[in-house]
Amino acid sequence: MQTRVCRLYAAADIRIETAELDAPGPGEVLVALSAGGICGSDLHYFQDGGFGPIRVKEPIILGHEAAGVVVELGDGVTGLTQGQHVALNPSRPCNDCIYCAEGLHQHCLNMRFRGSAMRFPHEQGLFRDRIVIGAAQCVPVSTDVSLAEAACSEPLAVCLHARNNAGDLAGKRVLVTGAGPIGALCAAVSAEAGASEIVVTDLQDVPLKAAEAMGATQTINMSTNASAMSRFTENKGHFDVVFECSAAQPAIRGAIEAIRPRGTLVQVGVTGDVALPVNLLVGKEVAFQGTHRFHPEFEQAAAAISSRRIDVRPMISQSFPVEDALAAFETAADRTRAVKVHLTFAG
């Protein structure tokens, strides 16, 4: 059996090719892919051949946000049926290392994460018409939602994990800096948790409109109306919780200035080394909290999308058939036009 794959060879060198596909073995299933979201890491691979020290050293099938339909079950698979709609969890911890034993699976020492060049050989990704994958990585979703929505389970899981690191948000005042897909979803999970105020900042109007549709009570375009943030820095700050999703040094500083004493800043966005106003962090007793991937939150995300308790539709900007992958990646990189761009597959 053959399947089409979206394979990256180097920066800007993306090709649609065919690959051999075996029948599912014990504990595996064959899934026909329908939709796959282009993530920021996919864009880094496409634009720059990697990010930081992580470089593409061999051809890699991209993609770690996807959903599809179960086509065939391998021996011993239970809990799934042919024709079932599933979101694919790209994360496969070993369940055996010291961190897995502590329940910290997102820090697994032997993590296998689809579409990642962190390991060599690289972990091949999900952008393909069909895939044989472990049944445990297939999470059922409702047929009442589109498979494009279901493909947003992975980024939503990231944001649910970030929310879990922030503590109870009921009645809290929340700032979200950066309104890309993760920022929009952080607004959505904050609204779902009962935050009383959710302010989202960005440099572009298109993602801010998506964030507003997903729960923001106020949006601020920092390129045209930065002064609107000034009132939030009065009296040592305003916000109880910040989800910093931009990883831009000015945004991080502004967030620390706008957070109130003993507030919690959850750093969701990733970057290299940046300067921090340590005196402000210390003087306000700010809890500076990192957040990394997810584990139980993937199933929670799929359930939230299935019920539309969290509606991801406002952030899905455009979809392109996989043969138009180049146009899809170029559109995804243009924040004046798009928030989340999907590839569609003929699985």
Gap between the Cα atoms of 134 and 172, Å rounded: 40
What's the confidence (pLDDT) of residue 235? 97
Query: Could you give the 3-state DSSP secondary structure of residue 118?
Result: coil
Q: At what angle are helices 181-192 and 205-213 packed, to 10 degrees?
A: 20
Q: What is the mean pLDDT of residues 77-95?
A: 98
What are the distances in angstroms from CA 277 to CA 231, 263, 265, 284?
Answer: 19, 15, 13, 11
**First vs last Cα of the chain: how many Å apart?**
12
Residues 279 and 329 in one domain: no
pLDDT bucket at 347, cuts 50 / 70 / 90: low
Percent of the chain at pLDDT > 90 equals 97
Gap between the Cα atoms of 94 and 91, Å rounded: 10
What's the confidence (pLDDT) of residue 346? 87
What's the confidence (pLDDT) of residue 51? 86
- Helix (H) or strand (E) holding 40, with range, is helix 40-48
Gap between the Cα atoms of 298 and 152, Å rounded: 10
Q: How many domains are there within the chain? A: 2
Q: Answer whether residue 280 is part of any domain.
A: yes
Gap between the Cα atoms of 216 and 138, Å rounded: 31
Residues 80 and 165 in one domain: no
- Sorted by sequence, the CB contacts under 8 Å of residue 98 that are 6+ apart come out as 109
pLDDT in tens, 215-256: 999 999 999 999 999 999 999 999 999 999 999 999 999 999
pLDDT in tens, 97-147: 999 999 999 999 999 999 999 999 999 999 999 999 999 999 999 999 999
pLDDT bucket at 53, cuts 50 / 70 / 90: confident
Q: What is the mean pLDDT of residues 201-216?
A: 98
CATH of the domain at 143: 3.90.180.10
Residues 90 and 169 in one domain: no
Residues 124 and 22 in one domain: yes
Q: What is the mean pLDDT of residues 43-71?
A: 95
Q: Answer whether residue 303 is part of any domain.
A: no
Indicate whether this model's pTM tops 0.95: yes
CATH of the domain at 163: 3.40.50.720
* 128 within 8 A of 16, measured Cβ to Cβ: no
Residues 15 and 138 in one domain: yes
Range of the domain at 105: 2-152+312-344
Listed residue (172, 178, 165) closest to 241, CA to CA: 172
Q: What is the mean pLDDT of residues 263-291?
A: 96
Gap between the Cα atoms of 315 and 68, Å rounded: 20
Gap between the Cα atoms of 150 and 134, Å rounded: 18
Residues 286 and 327 in one domain: no
Residues 269 and 318 in one domain: no
Residues 175 and 203 in one domain: yes
What's the confidence (pLDDT) of residue 272? 86
Mean residue pLDDT of the chain comes to 97
Gap between the Cα atoms of 28 and 17, Å rounded: 24
